[in-house]
Amino acid sequence: MPDRPHLPPFAALRAFEAFGRHGGVRRTAAALGVSHAIVSRHLRALEDWLGVMLVDRHGGGLTPAGESYHALIGPAFDQLCTATSQMRGGAAGGRLDVWSVAGLAYLWLTPNLPGFGRRYPGMALDLRPSDSPPDLVRREAQGDIRWYLDTAPALATPRNLTRQAIVRPRLFPVARADAPWLAGARVATPRDLLALPLLHEDSDAEWRAWFAAQGLEDAQPPLAARLWQAHMTLAAAADGQGVAITNGFLAAEHLRSGRLVELGAGNPAFSPCAPGAYYFTARADMWDAQPIARFRAWLAEAVAASPVDWLA
């Protein structure tokens, strides 16, 4: 029986398959962790090997031939990823690749990982902090943890995925108690925070949600600095640079050590605010697979062991 026909170089096929999903050379390069020059070289090599133009270099995207070829090889890559994931998950106690929003990964998940190891010895966990979610359908990871406001359009669960809230934490403002600008400030009501330097992450959405919960729907949160990620705003707040909006899962160590204090704690003028939650997302067909089921069980146990005042 004749062997299978000769195939193009796998690196070129992989670059083309990723290009078809991401829709651009630079986005594909970022996803694959290589330079855009390497992606371009792989795409040209595949076109030369096939003798067909696959990439529309004038209009962007794929040519009709490229669309047709991508539709055929995409399911093959899905099968490769599925087989590899199942093999890794079934060996040596199991293996799980999880991405997470960076702040939670650094400040809560990482310190708690020894507990996961004790709970499931022999199971390997790869945890990757990331600003954006992985492509779970194409097995870029097996699970993802991300914060979503209740009003976020991205909260709608994509097809073929299952999403479940892990915890709905209480948001609150924190600052360094001995910050010079705080010494002479009056913080008797939530409105008083509008006169203070506020530290923002990638947007002011959390601040706006918090002020809205205080009855200040039209508040314009002043920007002291935009630091993009939760752990960076907390570090800046601990350095005395301004007020951060956070939750107990992120700020626990800072609060325990006294580096930060909650502004308005115990003051009835400050209303509780929980405008979003952390969610765990995985493929629907893998939701009850052993590695994911174990990780979800551990997450539930870790959240249940958290202080009550961290929660909504």
pLDDT score recorded for residue 91: 43
Confidence of residue 7 (pLDDT cuts 50, 70, 90): confident
Give CA–CA dist 189/191, Å, rounded.
Answer: 5
Greatest Cα pair distance in the chain: 86
Please enumerate in sequence order all residues whose Cβ is within 8 A of that of 208, keeping only pairs 6 or more positions apart, or say none: 219, 221
- Tell me which residue has tokens 């052993």: 290
pLDDT digits (tens, 9 = 90+) for 108-135: 999 999 999 898 888 889 999 998 898 8
Helix (H) or strand (E) holding 202: none
Angle at 164 between CA 206 and CA 281, to 5 degrees: 90
Per-residue model confidence as pLDDT tens digits over 78-94: 777 666 666 655 444 46
Say what the pTM is: 0.74
Nearest-angstrom CA–CA distance, 252 and 248? 5
DSSP per-residue string spanning 34-100: S-HHHHHHHHHHHHHHHTS--B-TTT-SB-HHHHHHHHHHHHHHHHHHHHHHHHHHHSTT-EEEEEE
